[in-house]
Structure 1
């Protein structure tokens, strides 16, 4: 498929067509909205005094519009080839499409994260937080933390504030489950030293920078929870309890009355020939690789590999707190081994393979006899004495023993040994 010569309207239709073939219903609706939003109108003006039309935002000049359109067309062509590869059954492309659709990466991740960063009671956090007062700053990232708590003589811990219980629960659960797409989150709270390397109190500016760095790295690796119905739906499809909404590809349109090339004007034939010669487009992987049929079994495996990076929040009415529930891998179906079998095969045998109603005799352990015990002790005593005598026979005498003084311990021991010999 030649995509270099696609006009914007044809590129839009091609993207929407490929997005409608995705094997996941949520991905189809997400990418349709995403594509339409990216293809918004960017009108240009002939005069700076022209008023902007309603709903289209600020007008832009011709050069700005053309330059932006060229960049967007290149991105659209790459996205079209990627969607075609996903619809052809490439595992990595399909998995990344699901990551985008379910907010593990991309724009939707930060949309879900914005809902997670909302406080429990917005009216109660209008006042500056304790960390903002302590660090003399009104930065927003400082409002998510409580005052530092001293752990030992050298370390402070700064936990997430009680006003952000959902954020604290999600972050703590992700650290405990060791879930991450890249590097794992090491701690669910900031750990900062009390003093610097010179043993002086930590400067406020450096303390703010430590908190800012931890917040930036953690929010980048944090996987926000999904809505409950969306999480349950994907978990049910991964377990095989719900049918997967696959879409059948439509047949391409066929021209009813094709016009032969010979009947076209010479100028039109020359223009098409020159255009095809100047394209020099590198073939896409979607054109090179052989398509793979996507079925329910493949999608269940994909959902099982994606659900482990997803979670949901549930309110525990008993303990009055939020709980984070993470997805699980698709295990063996409990009804897999429950197929009825013939009773004669395992008749009269329990679950461990022992015969029913028959007690296995225990192996008798020989009781120690008095004569045997005395003989065993005497043999051990004799062996120990023989070993002692062997150790006494083999004594190493150094060659310089005659040079040593008479009262030296080595010479005394050597002289005793030489007298016995």
Structure 2
């Protein structure tokens, strides 16, 4: 079983184990996860006390092995990280796709300079963001979001309904206070916003979600055989994993048997010591083409917006993946008997007399 691979104690060997596990991931998230492993190792390799990062790396290694074993929720989370629905790439995409566009002509540059001179305040971080884009995606996300999306948009998106018009004394609030409340409002919106994907990546994700991509996007690489140490006999590793009587005296039984529970088996790889056991681990699925398309790729595509600007009105329109009509899949051969006498539209076939 792949999860029975021992965890190395040397940081360089741990780094190689994580890179090896990344090669078994689907092609959608494999490049990003590999780059993040390499970047994190370079950032932490020169630290004076690396024990904290080594412990974190062991946890991430267990997470990768559980995802490769077939835990669909953890594998979907890795794909969310790679496509920018959560994590660092989400912040990078938001900064790249939702920032204020530079002036394309002298007239736009003069207009931007005029608006900057009219402002009676110091520049802040909101000046670098296109609030029109953020508002368009936020309104659309609040109406289109599903329960399985990684982020849920708040209901109150319009700042005009959220901000007060006067203080407790019945007087109008100052411009500085309005600006501070606006920054707080849009900061909360940005924490829940799903940024748009680049056009090419969005189109490719749609092709993969519909099952029209190349077969290489739906093939999980086979795990290579595990190298066994020559000097250590097989019985030594099994004896090291068994708990001694001192553990049962000094620790509760629930903490000792927590690793062999059904919810933790895919992370720890522990086996049932009792032959009756607790059963198979929960959350594991067979990662075939159907499961990747419907369980991962289509859900990510539905949570990925695309922004387009109307050249006449200048307004931004938001398009979410999977909004077009999805045709019904053809029935299987053994189910064709239930569809005899019905055409493709579902209407009865009229017999010609």
Give the TM-score, by structure 2 length.
0.70
Residue deviations 1:236-288, cap 9 Å, x none? 22222223332322322446x934759xxxxxx9xxx999999x998463214
Q: Which residue of the other structure, out of 290, 293, 316, is the alignment partner of 2:286?
A: 293
Per the alignment, residue 8 of structure 1 pairs with 11
- Asked if the contact 1:305/1:329 (under 8 Å) is kept, the reply is no
Q: How does 1:395-410 map to 2 (within 5 A)?
A: none
Structure 1 segments of 4 or more deviating over 6 A?
273-278, 352-357
Per the alignment, residue 30 of structure 1 pairs with 32
Displacement of 1:328 after TM fit? 1.7
Per the alignment, residue 250 of structure 2 pairs with none
Per the alignment, residue 195 of structure 1 pairs with 166
Per the alignment, residue 133 of structure 1 pairs with 119
- Asked if the contact 2:86/2:150 (under 8 Å) is kept, the reply is no
Per the alignment, residue 206 of structure 1 pairs with 177
- Asked if the contact 1:307/1:329 (under 8 Å) is kept, the reply is no
Task: Identify which of structures 1 and 2 has the higher relative contact order when contacts are C-alpha pairs closer than 8 Å and 6+ apart.
Answer: 2
- Asked if the contact 1:237/1:300 (under 8 Å) is kept, the reply is yes
In 2 relative to 1, CA 309–335 (structure 1 residues): closer, same or farther, beyond 3 Å? closer
Gaps of 5+ in 2: 248-255, 271-279
Q: How does 1:349-360 map to 2 (within 5 A)?
A: 351=347
In 2 relative to 1, CA 133–345 (structure 1 residues): closer, same or farther, beyond 3 Å? closer
- Asked if the contact 2:302/2:321 (under 8 Å) is kept, the reply is yes
Determine the C-alpha separation between the residues in 2 that align with 1:331 and 1:238: 13
Give the TM-score, by structure 1 length.
0.59
In 2 relative to 1, CA 295–208 (structure 1 residues): closer, same or farther, beyond 3 Å? same
Q: How does 1:208-227 map to 2 (within 5 A)?
A: 208-227=179-198
- Stretch of structure 1 that moved more, 288-297 or 191-200: 288-297
Displacement of 1:295 after TM fit? 0.7
Determine the C-alpha separation between the residues in 2 that align with 1:72 and 1:174: 36
Displacement of 1:86 after TM fit? 0.8
- Asked if the contact 2:138/2:153 (under 8 Å) is kept, the reply is no
Aligned CA RMSD, in angstroms, stands at: 4.3
Per the alignment, residue 275 of structure 2 pairs with none
1:103 aligns with 2:89: no
Per the alignment, residue 223 of structure 2 pairs with 250
Gaps of 5+ in 1: 45-64, 146-159, 263-268, 358-421
- Asked if the contact 1:128/1:138 (under 8 Å) is kept, the reply is no
Q: How does 1:134-283 map to 2 (within 5 A)?
A: 134=120, 136-141=121-126, 144=129, 160=131, 165-178=132-145, 181-191=150-160, 192-242=163-213, 243=215, 244-254=217-227, 258-259=230-231, 283=259
Q: In structure 2, the residue corresponding to 1:215 is in which secondary structure?
A: helix
Determine the C-alpha separation between the residues in 2 that align with 1:93 and 1:211: 36
Determine the C-alpha separation between the residues in 2 that align with 1:330 and 1:12: 43
- Asked if the contact 2:218/2:288 (under 8 Å) is kept, the reply is no
Per the alignment, residue 70 of structure 1 pairs with 51
Displacement of 1:8 after TM fit? 0.8
Determine the C-alpha separation between the residues in 1 that align with 2:184 and 2:232: 66
Determine the C-alpha separation between the residues in 2 that align with 1:346 and 1:93: 42
In 2 relative to 1, CA 166–182 (structure 1 residues): closer, same or farther, beyond 3 Å? closer
Displacement of 1:307 after TM fit? 1.8
Residue deviations 1:183-235, cap 9 Å, x none? 42334442223212321111344323311210110010110001122212222
Determine the C-alpha separation between the residues in 2 that align with 1:22 and 1:140: 37
Determine the C-alpha separation between the residues in 2 that align with 1:194 and 1:3: 63
Displacement of 1:66 after TM fit? 3.2
Determine the C-alpha separation between the residues in 1 that align with 2:139 and 2:350: 48
Per the alignment, residue 327 of structure 1 pairs with 321
